Amino acid sequence: MQLLSPQNFKDYELIDVGGFEKLERFGQYITIRPEPQAVWDKTLPNAEWEKRAHIKFISKSSSSGEWKKLKAMPDRWNVNYQIASAQADKSQTPNSTISFRLALTSFKHVGIFPEQASNWDYIFDSVKEMKTPVPRVLNLFAYTGGASLAAKAAGADVTHVDSIKQVVSWSKENMELSKLENIRWVVEDALKFVKREEKRGNKYNGIILDPPAFGHGPNGEKWKLEDNINEMMKGVLNLLDENEHFLILNAYSLGFSSLIIENLLKKKAKENLNVGELFLQATEGPKLPLGVFGRFRNY
């Protein structure tokens, strides 16, 4: 089992984590946000957290809350990520920088999951190494599009699927900030989209999934990870191009084991499957686990 954490994200830092909270730097601004997995004590005292932070999220319910500003800062700002390509020493494959517009949402997120940077590197290299001139990549439950940007920056033909129209609009802003173009945007329930693509006989060279524990489609479709993931993966695996492909499945749900991911993917992946945990290393504290993953490629 692998443990993966971003090594090159200069615009992000997990400063400390504990007491069900995390102290993070996004660019030049520092936030305090809830973190349900941080069951241990903080390394730094609370007074130090309050001294450093620009803003703190106050939960009002399990799914929403409000921000309390401790210092002046904008409601929106930008950060960059330089993809750490394994091929960076080759002149034809330089590193690529992708950009994100961040914002203070009512559900504690700011528009990026930094731990996913490890997968962005993998996506970029997977696309670059393919013989297919323009690999087709499908990003499901795509949120604000970090994986879509990584694939597009590497030269892929990208289809980005998310059920929330406002989030897809946010992803388009990130594409434009990153000086990229021509990502295909789809506002639809991910499972419905996969089933329709199966019927059409469409194939993809790369598929990325980062499904939530719970969710809803644009027409009220219900998603529950443990109820729907097996059906989803059966369809997704049928969409993979037989000759050249890669796949990434992430799951952030308390109690969801990497062995579940292995069982879902091992028949298709065979000996090429890697499973493990994504984490962030705190500058002033321990490792913060942020979900399990499985990924494989064949070319």
- Residue 61 burial (C-beta neighbours within 10 Å; 0-12, 13-18, 19+): exposed
Q: From the CA atom positions of the chain, what is the Rg in Å?
A: 19
Amino acid 91: pLDDT: 47
Amino acid 191: pLDDT: 96
Amino acid 24: pLDDT: 98
Amino acid 95: pLDDT: 65
Amino acid 253: pLDDT: 75
Task: Quote the DSSP letter at residue 7.
Answer: S
Q: What is the DSSP pairing of strand 274-281 with strand 245-251?
A: unpaired
Domain boundaries, the chain: 75-298
Amino acid 119: pLDDT: 96
**pTM to 2 decimals?**
0.94
Cα 24 from Cα 20, distance rounded (Å): 13
Asked whether the beta carbons of 35 and 17 are under 8 A apart, the reply is: yes
| Sign of torsion over alpha carbons 233, 239, 240, 243 | positive
Could you tell me the two tokens for 21?
């909270």
> Residue-wise pLDDT tens for the chain (299 aa)?
899 999 889 999 999 999 999 999 999 999 999 999 999 999 999 999 999 999 999 998 877 899 999 999 999 999 999 998 765 555 455 569 999 999 999 989 999 999 999 999 999 999 999 999 999 999 999 999 999 999 999 999 999 999 999 999 999 999 999 999 999 999 999 999 999 999 999 999 999 999 988 888 888 888 889 899 999 999 999 999 999 999 999 998 777 899 999 999 998 887 789 999 999 999 998 999 999 999 999 98
CATH of 75-298, one of 3.40.710.10, 3.30.465.10, 3.40.50.150, 3.30.565.10: 3.40.50.150
Asked whether the beta carbons of 275 and 2 are under 8 A apart, the reply is: yes
Amino acid 87: pLDDT: 59
